[in-house]
A and B are shown apart, each in its own frame.
Chain A
C-alpha cells in the first residue's frame, strides 16, 4: 500500500469487514487471557515479524510458517470450552517443600507473580459443545510445567472427582517432567496420577490426552500416555528422555523430527495429530462417540 493511502479515511470492503469481525470475536474470547506485549511478535521459528492480532486470530499459530506458539492454560480453556462454563477446582494449593530445597519457595512466589498462575496446572469442570467434561491444562511458563506434589495432587483430585461424577477427563499435557526441587516426592506423583486414572478407566469412563509442546519426562511416562484416545498438536516435542540427554548418551546428533508429534504417530504412540483450530470439534466428536449410557 502506498504511504499516502495509509492515512486516508475510507470505508472497509465487505471482506475487510468480515475479517475485522473475526478478529474482534477472537480477541473477545482469547485476548483477555493472553495479551502478548506490544503490537508485534517475532515468530521464533521463521523469524518473521507478525502482528499480534494475526497471531490471536490464527489460534496462536504463525500465519507465515504455521509453527505453533505455546498457549497459556487460561487461553487454552477459552479456546476449547464453551464460553463461561469453566469452573475451577483446587486453586491455591501449596507444596510441603519435602526437600526443604534452598530458595524453592521464593522461586514459586516469583513464578506466581510473573505468570499469574498458582501452579503449573489448572483443573476444573466445564462443557464442550454442551457436554460436561473434567479438564486439566498444564502450562509451560510455570517452571516449565514441571510436576511436583501440587500438580500431581490437583490432577489426581480432578480424576477422582470425574470418576465420582462419571465424567470424561481431558488433560492437556505440557511439561518438562518431574519437578527436581521436590525430589522423590515428584516421582511418586507419576504412580499416584496413574493409579487414579486406572480407577477412572475401570469405571468405564473416557480419558483423552492432548499432547502439546513440550511433553517429556515423568509426565510422558505417566498420564500423558494413558489416554483412551491420544491427540497431539503438530510439531510438538514429545518424548521420555530429553533430546539433549539422548545426544549426550549416544554421542551423535539426533535425526530431524525425532520425538515430534509426527514421530509419535509414525511409531504408533498417538492416535491423531490435530490442528489447533479443529481441536474443539475433534474433542466433541470423540466424546460423543464414547457415550453409551
Chain B
C-alpha cells in the first residue's frame, strides 16, 4: 500500500468532494461514451448514469452511481443516493448489454440507496432485490469498481460482478460507520472506532475475499491525478475483458454464482 491512512481517514477521503465521480472516470477511461436514460417504467434517476461506451475499440455498457461536486449538482444527483427507478434503469441497461453481448463495467459510489418516503413507495427494496436476482444470471462478464463510498445494499445492487475491484481509498460496508456505532453501541460518535472493527478498507476487503483487486492511489484520487489512475484502470479493464473473452457464457454465469456462493 502506498500510504498509511487509518480506516476513518479513508472513510473521509472516500466521501471527499474532491474525489472524482463516475462520470469523471467514464470520460477519462473510455474512448467514447453516450448516455442513455430512463427505466421505461417511471422516470430517470439522476443518481445513476449509464450508457454505451467503447474501450480499445470494443463496445461495452457502463453504469455508475453519480454524486455531484457542488451543492446544486448534489441536489440534482440526490447526493448519489439512487431511487428505485435508478436501479431499474441500471437493470434495463444491463439486460440490453446482455442482449447485444457487451461486457458491463459498473462504478459504485453511493452512501446508500435513498431512504425517503418516495423510495419506499416505489419499492426500493424490491428494486435492489431484483438487481441481485437478475445480475446473478447475466450472460456477459460484469466488473464492478468501487471508486468512493460503497454503502450497503445500495452499493451491492451494482456489485454482483464476476470481479469487484476497489480504489485504495474507497470503502465498502454494510452500513455507514456512524450508523453501525449508533446501532451496536448506541453512540454515533464512535464512528472512527467502528470504521476500524467493520473491515471496510480495500485491504481488509481483499483479505475477506470481497474484492479481487486494489487499484493503488499514490496520492488520494482527485481531478489533478485522475489521468494517471485512469490510465492504470484502462489497462486493467482491458486485461479483464481479454481474460473473459476466453470464457463461455456458462462459465461466466457459473463463476459469478460460485463467487457469491462461497460467502
Instruction: Bin chain B's interface residue count.
Output: 35 or more
Measured between beta carbons, the chain B residues less than 8 angstroms from A98 are: 199, 208
Q: Smallest distance from the beta carbon of B113 to chain A beta carbons, Å?
A: 7
Evaluate contact between A239 and B260: CB separation under 8 angstroms.
no
Partner of A190, one of B153, B180, B257: B153
Partner of B133, one of A102, A194, A255: A194
Given A221-B125, A224-B129, A250-B117, do A184 and B173 touch, yes or no (CB 8 Å)? yes
Identify the closest chain A residue to B116 (Cβ). Answer: A250
Measured between beta carbons, the chain B residues less than 8 angstroms from A190 are: 129, 132, 153, 156
Cα distance A250–B184 in the bound complex, in angstroms: 23
Interface positions, chain A 228-265, Cβ under 8 Å from B, are: 239-241, 245-246, 249-250, 254-255, 258-259
Interface positions, chain B 134-184, Cβ under 8 Å from A, are: 134, 136-137, 152-153, 156-157, 160, 172-175, 179-180, 183-184
**Interface residue A191 (Cβ < 8 Å from any Cβ of B):** yes
Given A184-B210, A225-B123, do A194 and B129 touch, yes or no (CB 8 Å)? yes
Partner of B125, one of A156, A197, A240, A255: A240
Cα distance A254–B172 in the bound complex, in angstroms: 30
**Interface residue A268 (Cβ < 8 Å from any Cβ of B):** yes
**Interface residue A99 (Cβ < 8 Å from any Cβ of B):** yes
Evaluate contact between A184 and B128: CB separation under 8 angstroms.
no
**Interface residue A123 (Cβ < 8 Å from any Cβ of B):** no
Cα distance A241–B208 in the bound complex, in angstroms: 27
Measured between beta carbons, the chain A residues less than 8 angstroms from B261 are: 156, 192, 195-196
Of B115, B126, B197, B200, the most chain A CB neighbours within 10 A belong to B126
Identify the closest chain B residue to A195 (Cβ). Answer: B136
Cα distance A197–B257 in the bound complex, in angstroms: 11
Evaluate contact between A180 and B129: CB separation under 8 angstroms.
no
Identify the closest chain B residue to A201 (Cβ). Answer: B133
Evaluate contact between B156 and A99: CB separation under 8 angstroms.
no
Identify the closest chain A residue to B175 (Cβ). Answer: A180
Binary A-proximity of B118-134 (CB < 8 A = 1, otherwise 0): 01111111101110111
**Interface residue A188 (Cβ < 8 Å from any Cβ of B):** yes
Evaluate contact between B173 and A183: CB separation under 8 angstroms.
yes
Identify the closest chain A residue to B124 (Cβ). Answer: A240
**Interface residue B49 (Cβ < 8 Å from any Cβ of A):** no
Cα distance A101–B179 in the bound complex, in angstroms: 16
Measured between beta carbons, the chain A residues less than 8 angstroms from B222 are: none
Given A258-B117, A258-B120, do A185 and B125 touch, yes or no (CB 8 Å)? no
**Interface residue B198 (Cβ < 8 Å from any Cβ of A):** yes
Given A180-B180, A191-B136, do A224 and B263 touch, yes or no (CB 8 Å)? no
Identify the closest chain A residue to B132 (Cβ). Answer: A194
Binary B-proximity of A259-293 (CB < 8 A = 1, otherwise 0): 10000000111000000000000000000000000
Residues of A that sit less than 8 Å from B by CB = 98-99, 101-102, 149, 152, 156, 178, 180-181, 183-192, 194-199, 201-202, 217-218, 220-226, 239-241, 245-246, 249-250, 254-255, 258-259, 267-269
Top 9 nearest A-B pairs by Cβ distance? A241-B115, A195-B136, A220-B125, A240-B125, A194-B132, A188-B263, A221-B128, A225-B126, A225-B129
Residues of B that sit less than 8 Å from A by CB = 113, 115-117, 119-126, 128-130, 132-134, 136-137, 152-153, 156-157, 160, 172-175, 179-180, 183-184, 197-200, 205, 208, 210, 256-257, 260-261, 263
